[in-house]
């Protein structure tokens, strides 16, 4: 007897609404281990830096107050996106969702698994585009939904808010990264960072290929040293374990390496309002069902102050 899964899928969209809306965020676990999730964000979010010369002085009766305090705002944004996918539930029967087991899955179990996998795929696309996305309101893909970290950085370089003069930028494009020099270059990024940034527990976000290159360099340089007890490197040498290396495959092909703190790398979602929605419903074709999700997403920096971030433009 054929399984009639349509009704269970439609019910799953309602019953598991919260879990389905949370699934794309759960798929970002690799990023969220090193970045900060900010919820309740719809549209623009303003961070920035406080500039002040406040300090204690010898006591005097006279006030002699000065006003040298200002805020330099930095704005980033989450955007409302949606996904509409129609599929034939019966076409998936006999696949991984109905694998042979001692206990045959029920229609409800299959429906939940399908719905969760659809939501998880949404999250995978968000992860893949976290650095490279470029906002295009007329687009049809996640790559068009928001501005990724690299896109925001490129705009900041053009606007001169990220620059050598401001102390939050270094350009290493002239000499490509190689196995022979990658360790020295990564150490140069760290050593050229502001002293306040170097005092904090920081993270250096790099493509996986750069970390692999660094591990090869490390093995060549320190392979026989008595302190070298492991091949895989999780902290940049010479930083007294203050700078953690964070390899991400979604940074491959990008232009930048980021030295910053976890609190400065923001992932913005809503997850709190009724404006976000997920439904599985019938459509015009009675053989098909429609998966619909609407949610906010964006990434950004809390500040571009040199005390919290150093950006390196590089090539290989």
Residue 34 tokens read as 């090193």
Instruction: Determine the Cα–Cα distance for residues 270 and 218; give it in Å rounded to an integer.
Output: 42
On whether both 110 and 239 belong to a single domain, the answer is: no
Q: What is the pTM of this model?
A: 0.85
On whether both 15 and 34 belong to a single domain, the answer is: yes
On whether both 136 and 106 belong to a single domain, the answer is: yes
Of 266, 305, 299, nearest to 71 (Cα)?
305
On whether both 126 and 19 belong to a single domain, the answer is: yes
Evaluate whether residue 57 is within a structural domain: no
On whether both 102 and 233 belong to a single domain, the answer is: no
Q: Is residue 41 a contact partner of residue 270, using CB atoms and an 8 Å limit?
A: yes
On whether both 187 and 290 belong to a single domain, the answer is: no
Evaluate whether residue 58 is within a structural domain: no
pLDDT(183) > 80 = yes
Instruction: Determine the Cα–Cα distance for residues 159 and 162; give it in Å rounded to an integer.
Output: 8
CATH (domain of 222): 3.30.2320
Dihedral sign of CA atoms 230, 235, 236, 239 in order:
negative
**Bridge partner residues of 296 (DSSP):** 80
On whether both 254 and 175 belong to a single domain, the answer is: yes
Residue 254: alpha-carbon gap to chain centroid: 14
On whether both 10 and 128 belong to a single domain, the answer is: yes
On whether both 255 and 179 belong to a single domain, the answer is: yes
Of 300, 245, 238, 248, nearest to 269 (Cα)?
300
Given the DSSP bridges, would you call strands 243-248 and 202-207 parallel, antiparallel or unpaired? parallel
Evaluate whether residue 21 is within a structural domain: yes
Q: How many domains, the chain?
A: 2
pLDDT in tens, 7-48: 776 777 677 777 888 889 999 999 999 999 999 999 888 776
On whether both 289 and 202 belong to a single domain, the answer is: no
pLDDT in tens, 73-125: 778 899 999 988 887 777 666 554 555 555 666 666 777 777 888 889 999 99
Evaluate whether residue 242 is within a structural domain: yes
Q: Which domain holds residue 255?
A: 162-264+304-313
Instruction: Determine the Cα–Cα distance for residues 36 and 139; give it in Å rounded to an integer.
Output: 27
Evaluate whether residue 53 is within a structural domain: no
H helical segments located in 77-207: 107-128, 149-158, 182-191, 195-199
Evaluate whether residue 64 is within a structural domain: no
Instruction: Determine the Cα–Cα distance for residues 61 and 200; give it in Å rounded to an integer.
Output: 38
CA dihedral 180, 312, 37, 198 (to 10 degrees): 80
């Amino acid at each position: 007897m054929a399984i009639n899964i349509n009704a269970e899928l439609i019910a799953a969209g309602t019953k598991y609404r919260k879990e389905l809306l949370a699934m794309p965020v759960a798929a970002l676990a690799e990023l969220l281990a090193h970045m900060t999730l900010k919820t309740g964000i719809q549209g623009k979010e303003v961070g920035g830096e406080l500039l002040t010369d406040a300090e204690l002085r010898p006591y005097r009766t006279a006030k002699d107050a000065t006003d040298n305090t200002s805020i330099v705002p930095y704005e980033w944004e989450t955007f409302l996106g949606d996904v509409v996918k129609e599929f034939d539930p019966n076409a998936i029967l006999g696949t991984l969702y109905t694998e042979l087991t001692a206990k045959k899955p029920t229609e409800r179990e299959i429906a939940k698994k399908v719905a969760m996998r659809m939501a998880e795929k949404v999250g995978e696309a968000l992860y893949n585009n976290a650095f490279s996305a470029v906002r295009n309101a007329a687009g049809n893909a996640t790559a068009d939904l928001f501005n990724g970290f690299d896109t925001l950085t490129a705009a900041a370089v053009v606007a001169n808010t990220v620059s050598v003069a401001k102390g939050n930028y270094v350009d290493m494009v002239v000499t490509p990264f190689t196995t022979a020099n990658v360790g020295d270059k990564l150490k140069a990024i760290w050593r050229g960072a502001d002293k306040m940034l170097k005092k904090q527990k920081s993270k250096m976000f790099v493509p996986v290929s750069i970390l692999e290159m660094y591990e090869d360099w490390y093995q060549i340089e320190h392979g026989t040293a008595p302190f070298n007890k492991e091949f895989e490197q999780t902290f940049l040498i010479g930083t007294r374990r203050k700078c953690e290396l964070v390899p991400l495959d979604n940074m491959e092909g990008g232009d930048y390496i980021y030295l910053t703190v976890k609190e400065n790398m923001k992932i913005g979602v809503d997850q709190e309002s009724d404006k976000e929605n997920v439904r599985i419903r019938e459509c015009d074709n009675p053989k098909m069902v429609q998966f619909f999700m609407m949610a906010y997403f964006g990434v950004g920096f809390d500040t571009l102050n040199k005390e919290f971030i150093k950006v390196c433009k590089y090539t290989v």
